[in-house]
Amino acid sequence: MQRRKIAIMGFGTVGGGAYDILTSNREYILSTQGLDIEVAAVLDRTSAPLVAHGVDSKIFVGDIDKLASDPEIELVVETMGGVEPAKTFIEKLLSAGKSGVTANKELLAKHWSELEQTAKAHGSGLYFEASCVGGVPIIRALGESFQGDKIQSIYGIINGTTNYILSKMSGERLDYHNALTQAQHLGFAEADPTSDVEGYDAAYKLSILASLAFHTCVPYTCIYREGITKITSQDISNAHALGYEIKLLAIGTRDGNAVEARVHPVFVPSAHPLASVSGAYNAVYLNGDHVGDLMLYGAGAGAHPTGSAIVSDVIKGLKGKPEYCDFDNTGKLDKDIDFVGDFISGYYISLTVDDKTGVLSKISTVLSDNGVSIKSAIQRTGQAENTATLLFLTHRAREHAVMRALGTIGKLATVRRIDSMIRVL
């Protein structure tokens, strides 16, 4: 049996996890897949990560050109993260005829088209199961399991950090900052959590998933994005009282040529399957025109869950011929696609107002004048003297209509402040 040699670029948590699986399960992969896979080289800044992981430093490589010119290396795993130098390195390897496996959602969201063009030009494969939702095989499912269905919608909890924070706020009544600190202490959140908590990470992933699901480019720059940093303990408490959980959702839909894609906090009904996804776990809830509703659930991050997805791509890349997108992957929105910015949703609105007669009537009139219908309204005693808190749930309404209404409401003399506005699933 011919030994198949591969390399890993970036030997951090995920790269180390992939190495562990490839080495500990080497005999198992040989017996079940007929592949004897050897990690023959690891590229990193220094050999220190290898030594710390107990790996023989003899396989350390510090020069990308040496890796690209090695005729025995036929596939390279990229787990460096970030855009550069990862992009330059992968392009060099693809140009040398070596297939690439990457877990890099930011790189793919920003440069997928260019990487695929380079891969096509040199007969190389480009595989990225690990880029979205950790160990959950969503990429393979979208590419290989729904060819006979039109995917109409995709709703995803696809960022483990934000789901962990919101779960702690919900289950343990922590405020946002304490929940974030705990997530950082446990390694679920970076020292700089911006990419996660402001929704960038989820937007990158949604760009990839929606493009595959809807067979058209959905650029990340088109995706509406809002993070969780404004979610308060009071919002969580109000959600529970109204029968909801708050989740950061990535939402994509397609109806004919109309496509929408957005990332933001959502009131999810407590009975919905996504409401029960807690901690750092991820889930993707799909609807196909014939298969109906499906949900894929599992660990959305971590060395071994993500490493498992990488190894599945390594095996796919070594066993089969390269496959590319089944749509024109230009990286731009297709001219025939109507991208929906004025989407339709239900809304939760919380206001602090003067505790006076007629305030509710004035606000209701503003909402009605803008075509926003109230589903339910609750008035509570405010925290400050002579104030009240008004909570509204609206029927489904247009985004722009709600924003216009809130702009007017915020200027009313009897409205102290708009505390929260969260969309409702």
47-81 confidence digits (pLDDT tens): 999 999 999 999 999 999 999 999 999 999 999 99
Tell me what the mean pLDDT of segment 209-232 comes to. 97
Q: Domain 139-300 adopts which CATH fold?
A: Dihydrodipicolinate Reductase; domain 2 (3.30.360)
| pLDDT for residue 302 | 86
| pLDDT for residue 188 | 86
Where residue 173 falls (left for φ over 0; alpha for ψ -120 to 50; beta otherwise) is left
User: Catalytic residue at 205?
Assistant: yes
Residues ≥6 apart with Cβ < 8 Å to 189: 161, 164, 165, 180, 183, 196, 197
Q: Crossing angle, helix 105-121 and helix 200-214, to 10 degrees?
A: 40
Q: Where are the alpha helices (DSSP H) in 215-262?
A: 233-242
| pLDDT for residue 236 | 97
Dist CA 51 CA 62 (whole Å): 14
Sign of CA dihedral 398, 399, 404, 410: positive
Sign of CA dihedral 24, 57, 305, 180: positive
Portion of the chain with pLDDT greater than 70, in percent: 100
Per DSSP bridges, beta strands 344-354 and 415-424 are antiparallel
For 23, how many CA atoms within 13 A lie in the half-sphere containing its CB? 14
| pLDDT for residue 387 | 94
Question: Residues 58, 86: contact at Cβ < 8 Å?
Answer: no
| pLDDT for residue 384 | 86
Question: Does residue 305 have a cis bond before it (omega within 30 degrees)?
Answer: no
What is the value of pTM for the model shown? 0.95
| pLDDT for residue 137 | 94
Q: Give how far the C-alpha of residue 190 lies from the chain's centroid of Cα atoms, to the nearest Å.
A: 16
**Single-letter amino acid code for the residue at 304:** H
Q: How far from 42 is each of 32, 49, 51, 306, CA to CA, in Å?
A: 25, 10, 12, 18
pLDDT digits (tens, 9 = 90+) for 144-173: 999 889 999 999 999 999 999 999 999 999
Q: Which residues pair with 265 in a beta bridge?
A: 248
Structure tokens at 235: 């919002």
Top pLDDT among 269 and 320 is at 269
| pLDDT for residue 197 | 97
Report domain extents, the chain. Answer: 3-131, 139-300, 344-424
Q: How far from 187 is each of 44, 169, 302, CA to CA, in Å?
A: 22, 17, 10
Portion of the chain with pLDDT greater than 90, in percent: 94
**Single-letter amino acid code for the residue at 230:** K
Dist CA 17 CA 8 (whole Å): 11
Dist CA 113 CA 334 (whole Å): 13
- In this prediction, residue 320 has a pLDDT band, given cuts at 50, 70 and 90, of confident
**DSSP state letters, 88-132:** HHHHHHHHTT-EEEE--HHHHHHHHHHHHHHHHHTT--EE-GGGS
Q: Is the pLDDT of residue 213 over 80?
A: yes
Averaged pLDDT score across all residues of the chain: 95
Domain 3-131, CATH number (from 3.40.190.10, 3.10.20.600, 3.30.300.250, 3.40.50.720): 3.40.50.720
- In this prediction, residue 286 has a pLDDT band, given cuts at 50, 70 and 90, of very high
Determine which one of 110, 205, 247, 316 is catalytic: 205
- In this prediction, residue 187 has a pLDDT band, given cuts at 50, 70 and 90, of confident
pLDDT digits (tens, 9 = 90+) for 93-128: 999 999 999 999 999 999 999 999 999 999 999 999
pLDDT digits (tens, 9 = 90+) for 233-282: 999 999 999 999 999 999 999 999 999 999 999 999 999 999 999 999 99
Q: Which residues pair with 281 in a beta bridge?
A: 299
Q: Domain 344-424 has what CATH class?
A: alpha beta
Q: Give how far the C-alpha of residue 385 lies from the chain's centroid of Cα atoms, to the nearest Å.
A: 43
pLDDT digits (tens, 9 = 90+) for 383-407: 888 999 999 999 999 999 999 999 9
**Single-letter amino acid code for the residue at 228:** I
Closest CA to 317 of 37, 100, 68: 100
| pLDDT for residue 1 | 66
| pLDDT for residue 404 | 98
Q: Is the pLDDT of residue 343 over 90?
A: yes
Tell me what the mean pLDDT of segment 10-27 comes to. 95
